[in-house]
A and B are shown apart, each in its own frame.
Chain A
Amino acid sequence: AQSVAQPEDQVNVAEGNPLTVKCTYSVSGNPYLFWYVQYPNRGLQFLLKYITGDNLVKGSYGFEAEFNKSQTSFHLKKPSALVSDSALYFCAVRGRSARQLTFGSGTQLTVLP
């Protein structure tokens, strides 16, 4: 079975500071990893994904994530947070033979002005 853990329900960061949203996963074999963002009253939007290759993946809106196989982590990062980044962030994993994408419980990011 595959699973995702987002250990922080809430992350607060000051505007202009770097942000990190944590994600760890468990899957059989090598994973496909995804980050999605959900703004209030809107559907989920794709941010970035890791398939293979470089461990550092760059995505939309200046976000990036680093795949760490030994730590089974895929933390989302941004060097300088914006108030408009405030949203609910979901990490998701899919094993390479799996048909389903498993989502974490989400982390509410609040960027304070």
Chain B
Amino acid sequence: GAGVSQSPSNKVTEKGKDVELRCDPISGHTALYWYRQRLGQGLEFLIYFQGNSAPDKSGLPSDRFSAERTGESVSTLTIQRTQQEDSAVYLCASSLRSPSGRFSSYNEQFFGPGTRLTVL
């Protein structure tokens, strides 16, 4: 059983360039999350997809950041006009959808290995 995969594992880019990061969730996981982890810091929520519902984009730091997901499969995170402060590890996670009702949102997230982005 494959876990969450992310590509590329490392990306070095020049300031001002656009980058695209990819995430392949675990098959059957309807929820998908993107996080950013700066060096020595915790995880910063970016965006959340749940099935065909409108994504929760409340964590995106600026309009240079966007993400797409086709159905319940692959997601791409795009950063336009990259800045040096965008340098970080970008983590993707997926989880099963919890059944509706009292105990919603309790399923653990499974994380990919991350993409280390370095903006020169």
Q: Which residues of A contact B50 (CB under 8 A)?
A: 99
- Asked if B108 contacts A49 (CB within 8 A), the reply is yes
Dominant secondary structure of chain B at its interface with chain A? loop
Closest to A104 in B: B42
Question: Given A32-B105, A105-B42, are A100 and B59 also a contact pair (CB < 8 Å)?
Answer: yes
Chain B 13-28 residues near chain A, CB threshold 8 A? none
A-B interface pairs (CB < 8 A), number: 56
Is B52 in the interface zone, CB < 8 Å from A?
A: no
Chain A 31-82 residues near chain B, CB threshold 8 A? 32, 34, 36, 42-46, 49, 51-52
The 8 Å CB contact of A43, one of B4, B104, B106, B108, is B4
The 8 Å CB contact of B108, one of A46, A90, A96, A98, is A46
Chain B 84-120 residues near chain A, CB threshold 8 A? 91, 93, 102-106, 108-114
Closest to B53 in A: A99
- Asked if A45 contacts B42 (CB within 8 A), the reply is no
Q: How far is the CA of A12 from the CA of B106 in the complex (A)?
A: 31
- Asked if B105 contacts A94 (CB within 8 A), the reply is yes
Is A103 in the interface zone, CB < 8 Å from B?
A: yes
Is B48 in the interface zone, CB < 8 Å from A?
A: yes
